[in-house]
Structure 1
Amino acid sequence: MIDNLRTSAAHDEDFLYMQIADRLSNQIKGRVLKTGEKLPSVRALSHEQGISLSTAYKAYVQLEIKGLIEARPKSGYYVRYTPARSFDEVKKENTVTESKKLSVDDMIAMVHRHFSADGIVKLSVASPALSLLPQAKLSKSMVEAIRISANSCISYEGVQGNENLKKHIARLAFGWGGNILPEDVVTTQGCMEALVFCLRAVTKPGDVVAIESPTYFGIFSTIQTLGLKIVEIPTHPVEGLDLDFLANAIDEQQVKACLFVPTFSNPLGYCMTNERKKNLVELLAQRQIPLIEDDIYGEMYFGKTRPRTCKSYDKGGLVMLCSSVSKTLAPGYRVGWCMPGRFKKQVINLKLMHSLSSASPTHAAIGHFFETGRYDLHMRNLRKALYTQCLRYTQAVTEFFPADVKVSRPNGGYVLWIELDKKIDAFELYTQAIAYNISISPGQIFSTDSRFTNFIRISFGAPYSPEIEKSLKTLGQLMSKF
């Protein structure tokens, strides 16, 4: 008799948690509960529904298994949205389309003109909204750094940079598997200057540099400005660089250096696995080819742990890691750095010739901001906000854009890479969108030869809002007219 009662009670509990899970599932699918929205705690759900803690927990586990919600460490349960259309099964496509009337440089110039214009919804800018940055705390660090400085930050820093800043950059490297000392770091005016110093340290005009395709237009523009030639390495939207293609290109085109963004690339958003990063480092080490690793998005991860870098697998000093706080904390402060490995002497000489030293006040301020522990707290909040925004934007794309679009699934960074119908010309879409005060990045500007004509890049750096939603709806309507 007792066994029968126990069996009946267990059956009732199973039935109850399935009921709760089904009701929540319907609310999520009906968008009553929206992507990124926080759910009641297990205890709150138990109290609200008059069920046991065990039943409430089982209901959430059931929804988690279905991929409808997710648990975030020390934060609770959140609604998760997984789009049906993604790049997961997309095949590599390396065909080059016919050139258009405008050059890539002309297109980049047009897009750039609207980066800072007022009254434009800037879906083209891959950086955080100012509302997500700790402006008041940064100002306090600036004031305090100047106050405690022996010369009020008006004299030149040492050529390698602010000592306190270098110390905390070295500590930050521990999170990505680095074994870095302050003397291994050279500070710069932003990440782009670091990339330029590293490129000039290992190449001369006429040399060939391998980059990924698609890639951020600032990278290949900079390489071309230095008089270097480019070979583009195709990438998979999930796996990243085609290492077999790279190996053949090295042998056939005498590549002298590589410049890649292995962690949350811009615009694809992929993060190469640790194994593939290690394989990349070993491939280049065998041929003694330097790798310039642009890690500017590395701290914007949505998972539980910070992805490792290629630099963490470097045994011979051939990997030159470059980064900055431009995408995480203070774009206007121009605080960047590189870890140039065996090429440190060359980079220091280039810095002496180019800028002599870094800007004392801003670099001291960022060093102070790190020292107070404010950076870790800020980054936790920023990652949480970006992940929620990524989900909301992705949901809007699948809801408002034509049914045949495909969208990337980044696990970090700021951008979505979207494949449109082949009939749609991305730059023409851009020109039509500007008429509605909406700026996007057309796919043509992410390669040297205007390929990716039916792709666009959209940034989710700004918090989702009615204005953003209206803009995405408008973009969807413009696409449908094609």
Structure 2
Amino acid sequence: MKRYEQLADQLSELIKRGDLPPGARIPSIRVACKAWGVSPATVFRAYYLLENRGLIKARPRSGYFVSPSPEGLLQESPWPSMSPDPKTVKISDLVFEVLKTIRCAGTVPLGSPFLSPALFPTARVGKSCATVNRSTHLAGMVDALPPGHEGLRQQISLRYLMAGMTVPVDEIIITSGALEALTLSTQLLTGPGDVIAVEKPTFYAALQAVERLKLNVVEIPVDPVEGHDLDALAQALQHHPVRACWFMTSFHNPTGVTLTESRKQALVDLLARHDVPLIEDDVYNELHFGREPVRPAKFFDRKGLVIHCGSFAKCLAPGYRIGWAAAGRFAGRLERAKWMTTLSASMPAQRAIADYLEHGGYERFLHQLRRALNDQQSQMLDAISRYFPANTLATKSDGGYFTWVALPDHIDSIQLFQAALGKGISIAPGPIFSADGAFRHHVRLNYGYPWSARLDKALATLGTLCAEQSRCGLDLAEPVRPA
């Protein structure tokens, strides 16, 4: 058992015995480090574990407290023995408030979900677009409506083959971005009132889709180091009628964590035993920093239960809005769903991307992009270590362009978001990444922009705002001592 698990179990035992009753304040990270002789990272992971068990809650500017009703939770397991009751989702108002900030001209886009446009080969893709527009007959613009342009589907099938996977062209449905692939998949697998499993934390667009489709969710904890808690998922499958799972198993947004191949296989096998489909959001797959591609969970699928959703918006041409689903046994149903909704993604965009993939030097471009993102991650993590309070923890990913930052427990990320916006800086506060507004002292930061003095100054400003809020919280939390 790891040290943070031991610490979590010790505190769980104190709560179970009543030594720490409901509402009791538990030691701050700073105090716990001194008391147990461990690092801030160890204490943070222990508290993160206890929070996911439902045993403690973080209160903005006050610290951690024992949950009001911890009885009935399994104390021996690092995760809940039963998934919480399915819940409805109402998150869109907060998400839209945050997303509005990235459209403000001049705002430093640390909260943006997008990569810098400067990193993409826009001119070269535009050349492909002009080429195919000149050479395509008008009739060709309306052929291959669902499932999509044959040449592009062939190129996507080749990309799977390079990762060691055989995905038939007939299984691939072209969509208007990955989000359409994900939401159409969810819609065809569920109906209003059904239960779907999502991650905690999760990409807020998943929560918005769930809210729009009037679904209920069970949230499966995602550890920022080890990934999805498969024991909690097993409990959810046992106790609730889960119709599908919407998970991101590689370069998870927002934590950046990637499940190991053995855990991906265990995930697929678990779902196969329950005959539950997996909607796999894998939009950052091409943005790996290692030499070899990262295999998705679909690699281990033998029953056609995994709908693998990808996109060129994150790795080549964001404005073209071209995504796809490799839909396994659901390909026919997904194609019909596409017929009944948006009919087709832009045919010129499909043809342009197909031409670029065949002739434009895609691998060379990806090599440059991956190297740039890896360097930018290092620069951001270095800035966080220099400017943010000492107890701050930031994840380091093997791909993608986000870091998930755990701030000291006296910092409220919503207040930080508002204060940062006043300084011309956008961030993504933690509460938009869960159905119940958790992760109040977390933020997601985007390192997908070339490093500059402006970005460095923005991180320094955020660090100052964190320090000011942290000092204020500590002053409020400390008891007044008599003279």
Give the TM-score normalised by structure 1: 0.80
Distance 2:103 2:448 in 1: 15
Q: CA deviation at 1:202?
A: 1.4
Instruction: Tell me, yes or no, if structure 1 residue 396 matches structure 2 residue 351.
Output: no
Deviation readout 1:95-135 (Å, 9 max, x if unpaired): 455799xx743321211111222110000113221111001
Q: CA deviation at 1:160?
A: 0.4
**1:410 aligns with one of 372, 397, 400:** 397
Q: CA deviation at 1:413?
A: 0.5
Tell me the SS of whatever aligns to 1:256: strand
**1:331 aligns with one of 311, 318, 329:** 318
The one-letter amino acid paired with 2:212 is T
Give the structure 1 partner of residue 253 of structure 2. 266
Tell me the SS of whatever aligns to 1:270: coil
Distance 1:399 1:243 in 2: 36
**1:90 aligns with one of 45, 49, 54:** 45
Task: Provide the alpha-carbon RMSD of the alignment.
Answer: 1.9
Deviation readout 1:256-290 (Å, 9 max, x if unpaired): 11010000000000010000000000000011000
**1:304 aligns with one of 278, 291, 295:** 291
The one-letter amino acid paired with 2:45 is V
Tell me the SS of whatever aligns to 2:264: helix
Instruction: Tell me, yes or no, if structure 1 residue 112 matches structure 2 residue 99.
Output: yes
Q: Percent of pairs identical after alignment?
A: 36
Instruction: Tell me, yes or no, if structure 1 residue 355 matches structure 2 residue 342.
Output: yes
Give the structure 2 partner of residue 438 of structure 1. 425
Q: How many aligned residue pairs are there?
A: 397
Give the structure 1 partner of residue 281 of structure 2. 294
After alignment, is 240-249 or 174-183 more displaced?
174-183
Give the structure 1 partner of residue 263 of structure 2. 276
**1:189 aligns with one of 150, 172, 176:** 176
The one-letter amino acid paired with 1:231 is V
Give the structure 2 partner of residue 340 of structure 1. 327
The one-letter amino acid paired with 1:251 is Q
Q: CA deviation at 1:338?
A: 0.1
Give the structure 2 partner of residue 236 of structure 1. 223
After alignment, is 154-163 or 283-292 more displaced?
154-163
After alignment, is 145-154 or 255-264 more displaced?
145-154
Deviation readout 1:223-278 (Å, 9 max, x if unpaired): 12112111100011111100000000111112111010000000000010000000
**1:198 aligns with one of 185, 188, 204:** 185
2:248–2:281 CA contact under 8 A, matched in 1: yes
Give the structure 2 partner of residue 122 of structure 1. 109
Give the structure 1 partner of residue 302 of structure 2. 315
Give the TM-score normalised by structure 2: 0.79
Q: CA deviation at 1:155?
A: 2.9
Q: CA deviation at 1:437?
A: 0.3
Q: In the superposition, relative to structure 1, how do residues 448 and 89 fare at CA in structure 2: closer, same or farther (>3 Å)?
A: closer
Distance 2:114 2:365 in 1: 15
1:87–1:407 CA contact under 8 A, matched in 2: no
Tell me the SS of whatever aligns to 1:346: helix
Distance 2:466 2:333 in 1: 49
Q: CA deviation at 1:183?
A: 1.3
Q: In the superposition, relative to structure 1, how do residues 97 and 206 fare at CA in structure 2: closer, same or farther (>3 Å)?
A: farther
Distance 1:89 1:105 in 2: 29
Tell me the SS of whatever aligns to 1:231: strand
Q: In the superposition, relative to structure 1, how do residues 359 and 219 fare at CA in structure 2: closer, same or farther (>3 Å)?
A: same
Which structure 2 residue ranges, 5 or more long, are not aligned? Answer: 1-38, 62-89, 470-483
After alignment, is 180-189 or 261-270 more displaced?
180-189
1:191–1:336 CA contact under 8 A, matched in 2: yes
Tell me the SS of whatever aligns to 2:398: coil
1:210–1:255 CA contact under 8 A, matched in 2: yes
1:176–1:309 CA contact under 8 A, matched in 2: no
After alignment, is 274-283 or 112-121 more displaced?
112-121
Deviation readout 1:459-479 (Å, 9 max, x if unpaired): 000011000000000000001
Give the structure 1 partner of residue 406 of structure 2. 419
Tell me the SS of whatever aligns to 2:199: strand
Distance 2:99 2:58 in 1: 23
**2:132 aligns with one of 121, 145, 160:** 145
Q: CA deviation at 1:373?
A: 4.4
Instruction: Tell me, yes or no, if structure 1 residue 384 matches structure 2 residue 339.
Output: no
2:110–2:425 CA contact under 8 A, matched in 1: yes
Tell me the SS of whatever aligns to 2:285: coil
Choose 1 or 2 for highest CA Rg: 1
Deviation readout 1:187-214 (Å, 9 max, x if unpaired): 0000000001111221121111101110
Tell me the SS of whatever aligns to 2:363: helix
